[in-house]
Amino acid sequence: MKKQVLLVAIKVAIFASVATAAAGATAADAAKPVKVFILAGQSNMEGKAPNALLDYQAEDPKTKDFFAHFRKDGKWIVRDDVFIKYLERKGPLTIGYGSPGRTGAELEFGWVMGGHFDEPVLLVKAAWGGHSLVKLFRSPSAGLPGDVMQAELTQAQERVRKNNEKNKKDDPLPTMEDIKRAYGSSYRAMMAEVKETLDNYETMFPALRGRKPELAGFVWFQGWNDQYGGAEKEYASNMKHFIKDVRKDLGVPKLPFVIAAMGQNGSKPATGPMLTIREAQMSMNDVPEFRGNVKAFRTDLLVDKAAEELYPTWSKNAELWKKTGGDHPYHYLGSAIWFTRIGRAMGESMIELIR
């Protein structure tokens, strides 16, 4: 009888010990923060690789190994430790969080971050096609270009005057306040997107309830629309202001900042404004106060050569092109391979800065 009582006591003690350990593990797990990364830019940060292209290349013997880590049992993996909010869309990370029906660099970037951290990861993507750094993404400390704005105002007023005369209308003329409103509008929208997500992430992502968000890094992928009107000449200055303002407004003075420098030239040498912007982006690596906390890398060096070689004759080889690329050079040919390589470089650069 005593032996039985002793066995029961031992079982109760073991159960209590296991329960205590489990409770402790749960509490420790809940104490881990959510690592939050902001991905911002224009159409290429949106992501332009067609999902149908990924589906094909994930099964094609020539390319399937490249995409194998995204797949299990013939299907795309939906991660349970990496989440994404992209404007009106949200959920666990998988393909399809680019432009409608497409995927971008966020997929591989999220995979790299998810593999690096024990904590869950949340990606907040704020990207709008055609938005420049010189105007729409212009950050507060860059100031406003008075002469440029005055010229814009004059042109806008002249358009309205002509329209009024032609159509016998009496529409009011634009004011300087109307012109000012566009400057920095995407920067403000980006910050609003981040704030909304951080304020509501537990509702958006129930799996993250009870965890605190921690801003861990920022990734910038932009440049095309600054090639016009001389905007490329002030890109370096605007980029410095942007980095400083992002850190100030987010309250993280040394927030790791990765820049995917322009590279739509691919294997061909970059020239003109594209080269100027790429050099401006790469120059951030040499700004003394950014050393060790900002990393720019070249995306042209990651080119998908198969897509690049086929592109000149894509319209004559439409069916083959659907299995190789999916867009024009300004969108990195819509190459799933190129966007994935860029995403990996983003992730590796971010890890380098975090370390």
Q: pLDDT band at residue 14, thresholds of 50, 70 and 90? A: very low
Q: Which residue is listed with tokens 């929208």?
A: 189
CA distance 131 to 88: 19
The pTM (predicted TM-score) of the whole model is 0.90
pLDDT tens column, 257-277? 999 999 999 999 999 999 999
pLDDT at 5: 40
pLDDT tens column, 52-98? 999 999 999 999 999 999 999 999 999 999 999 999 999 999 999 99
User: Residue 1: is its pLDDT beyond 60?
Assistant: no
Long-range CB contacts (< 8 A, 24+ apart) of 144-150?
144/180, 144/183, 149/176, 149/179, 149/180, 149/183, 150/176
Contact 325, 286 (CB under 8 A): no
Pairing of strands 102-103, 49-50: antiparallel
Domains annotated on the chain, with CATH: 32-138+183-354 (3.40.50.1110), 145-182 (no CATH)
